[in-house]
Amino acid sequence: MSPRRPPLALTGAYTRIRHFLLPLALLLLGCTAAAGTPPLPGADRQLRALEAAVAWPAPDDAVVLSLASRYLAAREDDRAFHTFAARAAAEPGRPLFLALQGLFQARLAGQVFLLRRVAWVEEAAARLDRAAAQGGLSRVVRGLTLARLPARFHRADDAVADLRWSLSAPESPLQRGLPPNISAGLRRAAWHALAFAHATAGRAEASREALARSGAPRLDEEAPPLVVPYSLTARDGFRFGPPRIRSLGNVHVASGYDFADIAFVVTSAGVVAIDAGTTPETAAAALAAFRQQVTAAPLRAVLVTHAHWDHVGGLPALAAPGVEVVGSDRFREELAREQHVGQARRWFFGEGFRMDATLAYAPTRTVSARTTLHFGDTDFELVPVQGGETEDALLVNLPGEGLCFVGDAFMPYLGAPFLAEGSPEGLLSTIRTLEGLAPRQLVHGHPPLTDFYTAAALHPLGEALAELLGATEGAIRAGRPLAAILDDVRMPRSLADHPGAVMGYLLMRDAFVTRLQRQRTGYWQPDGEGVEAIPAAARARALALLAGGEERAFSRAAAKLLDSGDEALALELSRAGLLSFPASADLAALRDRALDALRARNQSLDPFKFIFYSEQRGAETPPLAEQEGAL
């Protein structure tokens, strides 16, 4: 059956414009505002922080695109239009700003006087044309935008040309120049947009093929966005990208076989693995791919960067007789913490994950001080550190390669968000240790961390986080509650001179503050949270009294919150309403809309929240399926 294209009447064009795909950005859910004046949305801390960063000279492209995605999620089209118009005027040599100005101008078309709308869209398209003439990301943005215009604008073929160029031209930013994690997400966006452009032009078969490559199940204006490199299913869990082996000289990193990466270092005496993945099955698949693509040399050792589930769960597939397993001597304390995790994270690791395999981790050798191991012609310097995520972190430094494996020492949550572990002080200490080692390149346990936490970013990131730590400790001593501290949206000015460190700082800023505040306070919080433990059902009864016992009052309020961009509160309110009115189809639909919006808001900057909300919604994200063939 051919993909169905929505009606192309001009009156419907502007809804489609509001739903086009943007790199690392979000599709909006296209809902009509509820009657009455909507409430003010909750503070979007990330949006304000991104605005501050983009206002600095020469911001990184990833930061600019993240701001655009946040504007889309918050439905701040007018604010975005004026922001990017100002940046385009200030930096005329940066065509991406002009392209984004055109993008948000197109989104505002529905608010323009009816007789002016066609000219307004054409003016937006002209801005996109001027920007795209300079190539780069601006041409990608134009293709994604034009693909969603209705047929009467006659731009479908232009969109197809832009998107084909984006996906296959050697000079396209999707082929080179962007971090792999970002370019892979852009490719999914481009394939999905290409499906819409072909459908507009009446090419049903080409539309079906592009849709299949995007991994999207159908052409659906209202579906949650698919603009990410990763996939998420109940069976396989979360994967940061498709299975692949990335080679860096004698170092080969297996990504996409499960939640975490496994590295294989080829030495003259055999192969040394760094970490072991999440399950024996996925670790075995990664090892088989490495042996097929690189070498069948025997495995001599597995060096474990820390004792988390996704780094030791696959050890049974690697730790054959004669294979040494080396880890930090603090591993027992970490496993003791993991024993107390109260809820299985099925959608993180998939159905094949077994906690008993993780808790059975027992290295054959442990280190408590800096130690150098020799395997043939390669030296492995093992450096125990406190780490940002766990206290049993172990850096694996290869001085001869100028490369250091850091595991998850830079995991933005500073410990799993559902476990009391990790510390800001440990992260800062690790940064200082790494600066002393002076590697040219860092390899992390997950692809996005390798993209954003580079060796060049270490010093400016450490300076910014040290400033954040001092300011947060002062606020804690002043008795300020967590939400108020987070609302400060501190963006250290030192980052303005180091655009490459901004994204890493933004990814961990809120978690850094939250972890520090939780470690410095008790279970009674300054704002009264925790003094009384009030069950969710009791809160729901109080809200039902406030609503006069009417289900419609919950529905109206939740709808207004959704339309104002306050999805988290809408989710809480709809869930509370369902506790009082469990049979309400309206409240169930509003809850699902809120979950979809939260998935969209968090998919590019907070994968952990994306996983959590996806599991709550029961919504899977299929893998990107880029099979070979003509575009």
Summarised one tens digit per residue, pLDDT across range 405-428 is: 999 999 999 988 888 899 999 999
Going by C-beta distance under 8 Å and a sequence separation of 6 or more, which residues neighbour residue 332?
Answer: none
Percent of the residues in the chain that have a pLDDT greater than 70, as a whole number: 91
pLDDT at 477: 95
pLDDT tens digits for range 479-501: 999 999 999 878 999 999 999 99
pLDDT at 181: 79
**With contact defined as beta carbons under 8 Å apart, do 469 and 424 qualify?**
yes
Percent of the residues in the chain that have a pLDDT greater than 90, as a whole number: 70
pLDDT at 291 over 70: yes
Confidence class of residue 222 from pLDDT cuts 50, 70 and 90?
low
Sign of CA dihedral 534, 537, 538, 541: positive
Quickly name the fold that domain 241-445 has.
Metallo-beta-lactamase; Chain A (3.60.15)
pLDDT at 177 over 90: no
Confidence class of residue 224 from pLDDT cuts 50, 70 and 90?
low
Confidence class of residue 564 from pLDDT cuts 50, 70 and 90?
confident
Supply φ then ψ for residue 521, to 5 degrees.
Answer: -125, 170
String of DSSP letters for 432-458: HHHHHH--SEEEESSHHHHHHS-GGGH
**With contact defined as beta carbons under 8 Å apart, do 440 and 430 qualify?**
no
Tokens for 294?
């690189």
User: CATH second-level architecture of 10-229?
Assistant: Alpha Horseshoe (1.25)
DSSP state of 538: H
Q: 145 by DSSP, 3-state: which? A: helix
Q: Which residues pair with 621 in a beta bridge?
A: 232
Domain boundaries, the chain: 10-229, 241-445, 463-520, 536-617
Q: Token pair 């962007």 is at which residue? A: 178
The lowest-confidence range among 60-69, 225-234, 402-411 is 225-234
Q: How far is CA 372 from CA 128, 367, 551, in A?
A: 55, 10, 66
Confidence class of residue 158 from pLDDT cuts 50, 70 and 90?
very high
**With contact defined as beta carbons under 8 Å apart, do 190 and 182 qualify?**
no
pLDDT at 13 over 70: no
pLDDT at 5 over 70: no
Can you give the pTM of this predicted structure?
0.88
pLDDT at 30 over 60: no
pLDDT at 90 over 80: yes
Mark out the alpha helices in 56-134 (DSSP H runs). 61-74, 77-90, 95-107, 117-132
| Terminal CA-CA length for the chain | 20
Confidence class of residue 344 from pLDDT cuts 50, 70 and 90?
low
pLDDT at 219: 86
pLDDT at 43: 61
pLDDT at 329 over 70: yes
